[in-house]
Amino acid sequence: MAQGFLQIAVFCAILIAVVPLLGAYMARVFSDERVLLTPVLAPVERGLYRVFGIDPERGQDWKAYARSLLIVSTLFVALLYVILRTQGLHPFNPEGFKSGTWDVSFNTATSFLTNTNWQFYGGETTLSYFSQMAGLAVQNFISAAVAIAVLVALIRGIAARHGDGTLGNFYKDLTRIVLYILVPLSVVATVVLVSQGVVQTLGGTVGGIARGPVASQEAIKLLGTNGGGFFNVNSAYPFENPTAFSNLFEMLIILAIPAALPFTYGRMVGSRRQGWTIFGAMFALFIVSVVVVYLAERHGTPAAHAAGLVGGNLEGKEQRFGIASSSLFTAITTVVSCGAVNTAFESLTGLGGLVPMTNLGYSESVFGGVGSGLYMMLLFVLLAVFIGGLMVGRTPEYLGKKIEPKDVKLVSVGALFTALIALVFTALAVGTKYGRPSIFAGGPQGFSESFYAYLSQANNNGSAWAGYTGYVQPNAPGNVGAHGVTFADVMGGFAMLFGRYVPILAVLAVAGSLARKKVAPVGLGTMRTDTPTFAFLLVGVVVLIGALTFLPAFLLGPVVQSLTTHLF
Amino acid sequence: MRKDLIRGSIAVVVFTVLLGLVYPLVMTGISQVVLPGKADGSLIRQNGTVIGSTLLGQAWQRPVLDAAGKPRKDAKGNPVTAPDPRYFQPRPSATGYSASVTFFANRGPDQATTAALTRQHLDAYLALEKPYDPGLTPALVPIDAATFSASGVDPDISKANAAIQALRIAAVRHLPLARVRALIAANTDGRAIGVFGEPGVNVTTLNHALDQGAR
C-alpha cells in the first residue's frame, strides 16, 4: 500500500514541477509574445493567415467570434461524416474496410468534433488509416484548439481593462494554438511513445497483428484530452501503452495542458495567486478521487470473492500497470475530460466506479478538458463570487468587474446545462424500451452503464463502461454484417453536441459582457478571490452543485453496488 | 457570413492536409528511420515469418487428442485446445489473445457470470499447477492468474504467478529449477524509474527463451 501511495505522491511532485512552466509558455503564446519557436514558426503562421485571407490583428466581438467558431465546427463535422461514410473509396486502407453506417458515423463524427471521442466505433476493426489520420486525428487537434480558443477569449474578456468588447480573432487563436502548442508537444510525445514501443507504420496487419500510425495519434489523443483509441481497448492495448514508463508519460501528458492553464490564467489576469487558487481547488478534488479509487480497488469484488479469489481487483487491468497505476490513470482521465482508459471501467469495484462518475458529475471542471475544463471552472468561480456576494450582502464583483443578474443567468445556463442533458437522456434511455438493447450487465450495474454513457457524452469525456453498446459487430474485421444501435448512437450524438456548444455559447456571451465592463477599484469590502478561503468556497460550490444534481442517480448505481455483496 | 464560410472552408482543407496527412506521414518517416523495430511493432520473426510481438501476449496451447489420437473438434468443428504444459501460461483473455480484434471483457463486480468465470479460471489454474505444487490452494493463487486482463493480450504475469508455474516448467522440461528462475529474472520488467507500475514477467519472450535454450 505504501508503494501505491508513493506512486501517487511522486506523480504529483513531477506534475507540479512541470505545469507552471508550460502555463507560462502558453501565456506568452496567447499574448503574442516572442517564444523559442517564433523564428521557425512565424513565417508558417503568416503564410497561413494569407491563405485563410484574414487580418490577424482585427478583433472580433463575442458574436463574430462565436459565428466563426460555429462555421468552422460545422464544416469540420460535415467533412468527418463524409470521410467515414465514404471510407471504402480512400487510400491508406490496407484491410479494405467498408464505409460506416449512418448512425455510427454520426455518433463518431459528433464525438470527435466535440472532443468527446466516445467509442461506438471499433478502431482496428472498422476504421482505415485514412479515416484515423485525416478524420479523427485532425479533430483531435482542432477540437482541442477550439476549446482553448474559447477559454482564451473568456480570459481576455475578464482581463480587459478598457474594453471595446473584442475578444481576439478566432482564426488567429486557432492557428497559434495548433502551431505553437499542440503540434510541437505532439511531435515530441510521438517520439517518446515510439521509443517505448508504440507502433507507427503504414504497413497493414502482419501475422494476425493489427498495426497503424498509432503513436502520432496517441500523442494528440492525450495532449488534447481527446481519448479516442486507435484500438478498441484504447490505452490498455500494448501498442498504445506498452510499458510502465509509457503509462507514466501518458498520465503526465493528459494532465499537462489542463493543469497548466490555471497558471496561464494567473499570468494573463496579472495575478499569479489567482492561478494558484484555482489550481489548488482543482488539485484538492483530484487527490480525493485518486485516493478513493485506489483504496477501493485494493479490495476485490464481490464476484471474485464469491469465486474464492483472495486479493485486490485486477479484473480488467493490466499487470504492468498494477492496481495503483491503473487507479491513478482512471482518476486522471476522468477529472480531465480525456476518456482514454488503461483499465476496463465496467470491471471497477462499486465504490471505485463511483469515482469516475463523481468526477464527471463536477461537470468536468476539475482540470477538465483542455480549455473547456478551465472555462467551466471559471463559471463556477463566478457562481462562487455571486454566492459569496449574497452572503456578505454586497454586489458581487470579480477582478474589479461587477457581476450582474444577466451574467449570472448566462453562467447558470453554462454550468448546469450538461447536467440537465445527462439526466434527461439517461431517463429516456432507462425509462423506454429503446435503451435496452445497449445494456450488457444485470442489476444496478446495468443502470450505471446507461447513466455513465450519457453522463460521459454530455460532459464530452468519452470514457465508458464499455458493456454499453451502440454498435454490433460480429467478431470479424471488415465491417461485415456490422450495424449500429440507432437510438444509442443518435441520442449520444445529440448529448455531445448540446453538452459542448451550449456551454461554449454561454461562455462567449459572458466573455463579451465582461469585456465591456468598467473596472472598479479594489475596496475594503471587496471579497478576495486569491485566498485559501476562496479556494475552499469554490470547492464547496462545485461539490454541492454536483451532489445536489446527481446524488439520486449515484445511489441507484454504484452506491447500491458497494452496499451489497449480492450477485446479479 | 459568406466571407466567413470561404475562410472556414479554406481552413478546414489546409488543417486537414497539414494535421491529417503531413503530420502523421512525417512522424511515420522519422519513426521508421530512427526506431524501425519498435515502430513496426517489436515483431518476433522465425525464418522470416512474423510469429508474434514481444509486447503482446499470445496463446500457448496444444490440440487435445481423442482416443484414436486425432485432434478433437468441438460442435462448430473448431479444434479443441488446452494449455500446453511445456510453456508458461499468460493471463486469461476474453478475446482469445486476438491481436486484430480487441474488446474489454466487461465483467462487472457484482455479476454472477463474473463469479462463474473467475471460478473457471481458478479451477483451470489449479488443475494445471497443483500436480507440481501440491500445497497450492485457491487462496494462494495470484490475482493476475484468475482475472481477465484489460487488453486481452497482456504479455505479463506477476512474479508470484511465474514462481508457481516455474515448478511445472522445470518438471516437464527436465530443467534445473535454478535455470528456469534465472530465465524468469531475465524476462522480468521492473517498475518505471523504480516507482511506477508493477513488475511483470513477459510470458511471450520467456517462452521463446525457453525454446531457444532447448534447441
What pLDDT digit, counting tens, does each position of B13-29 carry? 999 999 999 999 999 99
Give the closest of B49, B104, B139 to A344, CB-based: B104
> Does residue A557 fall inside a structural domain?
no
**Grid cell locating B17:** 492536409
CB contact under 8 A, B141 and A309: yes
- What is the per-residue pLDDT for A481? 65
Tell me if A64 is assigned to some domain.
yes
User: Rounded to whole angstroms, how far apart are CA atoms A153 and A508?
Assistant: 7
Contact A247 B197 (CB under 8 A): yes
Predicted local distance difference test score (pLDDT) of residue A564: 86
Count how many domains chain A has: 1
Phi first, then psi, for residue B53 (nearest 5°) are: -135, 145
pLDDT in tens, B45-104: 999 999 999 999 999 999 988 888 888 888 888 888 999 999 999 999 999 999 999 999
Provide, as residue numbers in chain B, all residues whose Cβ is less than 8 Å from the Cβ of A232: 101-103
Same domain, B81 and B158: yes
Helix (H) or strand (E) holding B157, with range, is: strand B156-157
Total of domains in chain B: 2
How is residue B45 annotated by DSSP? Answer: E
pLDDT in tens, chain A (568 residues): 789 999 999 999 999 999 999 999 999 999 999 999 999 999 999 999 999 999 999 999 999 999 999 999 999 999 999 999 999 999 999 989 999 999 999 999 999 999 999 998 888 889 999 999 999 999 999 999 999 999 999 999 999 987 788 999 999 999 999 999 999 999 999 999 999 999 999 999 999 999 999 999 999 999 999 999 999 999 999 999 999 999 999 999 999 999 999 999 999 999 999 999 999 999 999 999 999 999 999 999 999 999 999 999 999 999 999 999 999 999 999 999 999 999 999 999 999 999 999 999 999 999 999 999 999 999 999 999 999 988 888 888 999 999 999 999 999 999 999 999 999 999 999 999 998 889 988 889 999 999 999 999 999 999 999 889 888 766 555 666 677 889 999 999 999 999 999 999 999 999 999 999 988 887 777 889 999 999 999 999 999 999 999 999 999 999 998 888 888 8
Chain B within 8 Å of A563 (Cβ-Cβ)?
Answer: no
In B1-40, the residues whose Cβ lies within 8 Å of chain A are: 1, 3-12, 14-16, 19-21, 23-25, 27-28, 30-32, 34-35, 38-40
Beta strands in A56-163 (DSSP E): none
Give the C-alpha separation, B48 to B130, whole Å.
38
- Looking at residue B71, its pLDDT comes to 86
Chain B partners of A310 at a C-beta cutoff of 8 Å?
Answer: 138-139, 143
Same domain (yes/no): B113, B144: yes
State whether B101 and A353 contact (CB < 8 Å).
Answer: no
pLDDT number for residue B35: 95
For residues A493 and A310, what is the distance between their CA atoms, to the nearest angstrom?
42
Strands B61-63 and B49-53: unpaired
Amino acid at A187: V
Which residue of A68, A200, A303 is in closest CB contact with B109? A303
> Between chains, do B110 and A561 touch, taking CB under 8 Å as contact?
yes
Q: Is the pLDDT of residue B215 over 60?
A: no
Parent domain of A453 = 2-270+281-540
Residue A78 corresponds to which amino acid?
Answer: A
CB neighbour burial string for A470-507, b if at least 16 within 10 angstroms, e if fewer: bbebeeebebeebebbbbbbbbbbbbbbbbbbbbbbbb
List CB contacts (< 8 A) between A321 and chain B. Answer: 197-198
Min Cα distance A320 → chain B (Å) is 5
Same-domain pairing of B15 and B56? no
Q: Which of residues 468-527 of A touch B (CB under 8 A)?
A: 475-477
Same domain, B100 and B192: yes
Q: Which residue has the higher pLDDT, A165 or B10?
A: B10
* Inside any domain, residue A551: no
Choose the mutation target among A55, A68, A298, A315 for the interface with B, i.e. most B CBs under 10 Å. A315
**Inter-chain residue contact B143 with A566, CB threshold 8 Å:** no
> A481 lies in a domain?
yes
- For residues A560 and A306, the answer to whether their CB atoms sit within 8 Å is no
Residues B6 and B100 in one domain: no
Rounded Cα distance, A283 and A459, in Å: 19
Residue A483: the pLDDT is 78
Contact B166, B188 (CB under 8 A): no
Alpha helices in A393-526 (DSSP H): 405-431, 444-458, 486-515
B192: β partners? B196
CB count in 10 Å sphere of residue A27? 21
Between CA A29 and CA B22 the distance in angstroms is: 23
**Local structure of residue B140 (DSSP, 8 states):** G
By CA distance, what is A233's nearest residue in B? B103
Taking an 8 Å cut-off on Cβ atoms, the answer to whether B108 and A171 are in contact is: no
Between CA A125 and CA A135 the distance in angstroms is: 16
A149 touches chain B (CB under 8 A): no
Rounded distance, CA A117 to CA A234, Å? Answer: 11
* A402, β-bridge pairs: A397
User: What pLDDT is attached to residue A476?
Assistant: 58
As to burial, measured by CB atoms within 10 angstroms (0-12 exposed, 13-18 middle, 19+ buried), residue A275 is buried
Same domain, B14 and B47: no
Shortest alpha-carbon distance between residue A280 and chain B (Å) = 24
Listing DSSP states for B173-210 in one string gives HT--HHHHHHHHHHTEE--BTTTBS--EEEHHHHHHHH
Are B60 and B28 members of one domain? no
Nearest Cα residue to A469 out of A103, A110, A135 = A103
B12 with A75: Cβ contact below 8 A: yes
Name the residue with cell 535454450: B213
A302, three cell numbers: 464481490
Q: Please identify among residues 159-188 of chain B the ones whose CB lies closer than 8 Å to any CB of chain A.
A: none
Which residues, at least 6 apart from A94, have a Cβ–Cβ distance to it below 8 Å? Answer: A128, A129, A202, A203, A204, A205
To the nearest whole Å, the CA of A561 is away from the closest chain B CA by 7
- Taking CB atoms and an 8 Å limit, are B107 and A443 in contact across chains? no
What are phi and psi for residue A33, nearest 5 degrees?
A: -85, 165
For residues B160 and B55, membership in a common domain is answered with yes
B94 and B166: one domain? Answer: yes
Say if residues B6 and A169 touch (Cβ distance below 8 Å).
Answer: no
Rg over CA atoms, chain B? 23
> Does B118 share its domain with B182?
yes
Q: Are residues B139 and B210 in the same domain?
A: yes
Contact B106 A347 (CB under 8 A): yes
3-state secondary structure A175-207: HHHHHHHHHHHHHHHHHHHHHHCCCECCCCCEC
Residue A475 lies in a domain: yes
Q: Which residues of A touch B124 (CB under 8 A)?
A: none
Chain A contact present for B108, CB below 8 A = yes
Residues written for chain B: 215
A556 to chain B, any CB pair closer than 8 A? The answer is no
Range of the domain at B27: 2-39
Interchain proximity B109–A445, CB inside 8 Å? yes
Q: Tell me the per-residue pLDDT of B118-170, one tens digit each, with 9 for 90 and over.
A: 999 999 999 999 999 999 999 999 999 999 999 999 999 999 999 999 999 99
A557: chain B residues, CB-CB within 8 Å: none
Minimum distance, in Å, between the CA of residue A85 and any CA atom of chain B: 17
**Domain-located, residue A397:** yes
Query: Residue A477's pLDDT is what?
Result: 58
A-chain residue closest to B119, CA distance: A307
CB contact under 8 A, A79 and B200: no
- For residue A552, being part of any structural domain is answered with no
**Smallest CA–CA separation between A530 and chain B, in Å?**
34
State the SS3 of A319-372: CCCHHHHHHHHHHHHHHCCCCCCCCCHHHCCHHHHHHHHHHHHCCCCCCCCCCH
Q: Where are the alpha helices (DSSP H) in chain B?
A: 2-17, 23-34, 36-39, 112-129, 159-173, 177-186, 203-214
| Domain co-membership, B12 together with B106 | no
CA distance A533 to chain B (A): 34
Q: Which of B14, B24, B114 sits opposite A216 (nearest CB)?
A: B24
Name the packing angle between helices A244-268 and A214-223 (round to 10°).
40
Q: Of B157, B171, B41, nearest to A320 (Cα)?
A: B157
